[in-house]
Structure 1
């Protein structure tokens, strides 16, 4: 929990005025890098291993990127110095054994562009926002996922070209929500996971990440919007309930395959929900829009039993992603004994 407390302090350093009187501490910047890297490592592992299940792909480079604009103005210059950002996009971390690592890219390099794309210069006086980073990530996601890409890089003041051979990856970006809440959401392009999951469930956190990735792979956001459902507090009322319960169970079932395909023990999903579920019975993830956690565990147990030995495992639930949601969640559910 000590790391979580320090990250709560850094939240304001990233997206708002910093409530600190002393200058930014390098250790806090390294806390940012560490938890961002934790999520990137798990997300990349899941997204690359399951690329064959994703009909929307992007080039998997193994790069964790950030921009000056995402840091609060009060700490922006300190962040630029600490992370050695010398241009529009900094390389916060390079994942081990990734295409970027194999090509020789390093943390502290600055990314100026890729192929015909040149990134816009940073606005050092801008309000804290991830808009610039999101734009960069979308531009990269549009590039071919299966051919070499030329990156334009600045290192120690010198510019160079580095060619990276990406691995096809599911088209999703991963983002940490720093704060005390158990935040978890997916919007079709992004998976956002709260830092508290890493603090309290460090060995089990791939389970909720896989669950949120499953929502994106199954196009749940756009399929829910097509049904005209209400989100937020209204998701647990009226006709909304059956559609949200259907998407939650579909994501549970697919998450088991995603974990297994990435080399995780899929039983971590059972352990995660068995520990997390009881604590959230009165919280957002225990609302009427979500089935009871014991039944969700039983449903995932059946999914694990049907995995078989072949990898990647492609569950039948994938065949539904091009169809409208029908709200039939009961046929997916296994009742706990």
Structure 2
């Protein structure tokens, strides 16, 4: 996985801003790098479990048009982004780092993909980054990629030999709310979690949403014509949503263990978060009770074994239609 991060925070905040200082830009870089690092670790170590792969380079990329017109020039100047794609960060010990690519480099070509310079007056958007992310993700997962870049006005060519990674991009949303979600292609988490929880518990959150993508839950539910949002807690939707939540809980245990995280971090997260934030009437209709989810997770941890990568039986469910039998997966809390 390339770990391309779409900075929605910049689009939402910068569109109203007139200027920004260096501290603001570095805070954005730090936030994007934090979620990219965890996502890259989860995606590369769990590649054997995924049926859709992409090249794992260890790059966090950005584009000028992500920034509002009010301070786009400031962002370009700060990140030395005098080109179509900027390197916001390079993850330590990654293929990109080994190839000598550095933060604040500018990229123009990756393999057969040529990056285009956007019009200078285009409104703030992340669509360009999402598009180029998809282009690079479509490259062979383990074939060398020739990268054309520029640093301090000097052009260079580097060959990066990626590691296979599960095909998912990880995004940071700057928000005071508690938001974590997936859509089959991305995993997105709000910055508030990063302010209040340790890395292993954030990894647990991301692993749960990542599990939804690996199990193709969104696509399978859309094929069944299920309703999302508030309607998820009504009618026939309920049993299928609860089934997918429990499947993701169970698979997330293996995803964490494979990545070298303590799976018990999931339990610690729910013990802190659950009593205050997981008891709304709508959430309780579409999701099993959080204490029962913890009991289910604890059983999955007990069944882990020592083999790595761990491949739980629930992984095979992605080849079958959802049956809605969530009670067969649930362990009741005592």
Q: CA deviation at 1:124?
A: 2.2
Q: Deviations over 1:185-210 (max 9, x none)?
A: 11111011111110111331111000
Q: Which of 296, 301, 305 is residue 298 of structure 2 equivalent to?
A: 301
1:265 matched to 2:271? The reply is: no
Inter-partner Cα distance in structure 2 for 1:11 and 1:166: 27
Residues 321-332 of structure 1: pairs in structure 2 closer than 5 A: 321-332=318-329
The CA deviation at 1:19 is 4.7
For structure 2, the 5+ residue unaligned runs are 1-6
Deviation of 1:138 (Å): 0.2
Equivalent residues of 1:277, 1:286 under 8 A apart = no
**Residue in 2 that maps onto 1:195:** 191
SS of equivalent to 1:330: helix
- CA 1:216/1:285 → structure 2, altered by over 3 Å: closer, same or farther? farther
SS where residue 326 of structure 2 aligns?
coil
1:44 matched to 2:46: no
Offset at 1:283? 4.2
5+ residue gaps in structure 1? 1-9
Contact kept? 2:14, 2:67, Cα under 8 Å: no
Alpha-carbon distance in structure 1 between the residues aligned to 2:119 and 2:192: 31
d(CA) in 1 for partners of 2:14, 2:259: 39
Q: Give the structure 2 partner of residue 6 of structure 1.
A: none
Cα gap change, 1:154 to 1:131, in 2 (>3 Å): same
For residue 116 of structure 1, what is the aligned residue in structure 2? 112
* Structure 1 residue 122: Cα displacement: 2.1
Matches of 2:279 and 2:75 in 1, distance apart?
39
SS of the counterpart of 1:73?
Answer: coil
SS of the residue corresponding to residue 204 of structure 2 reads helix
**TM-score (norm. length: structure 2):** 0.95
RMSD: 1.5
Q: Secondary structure at the match of 2:101?
A: coil
Q: TM-score, normalised by structure 1?
A: 0.94
Say if 1:17 and 1:99 are closer, same or farther in 2 by CA, change over 3 A: closer
- C-alpha contact 1:235 1:241 (8 A) present in aligned 2: yes
The aligned counterpart of 1:214 is 211
Conserved 8 A contact 1:87-1:121: yes
CA displacement 1:271-290 (0-9 Å, x = unmatched): 01111111213448833111
* Pairing 1:74–2:64 present: no
Instruction: Tell me what 2:3 maps to.
Output: none
Aligned residues: 327
SS of alignment partner, residue 334 of structure 1: coil
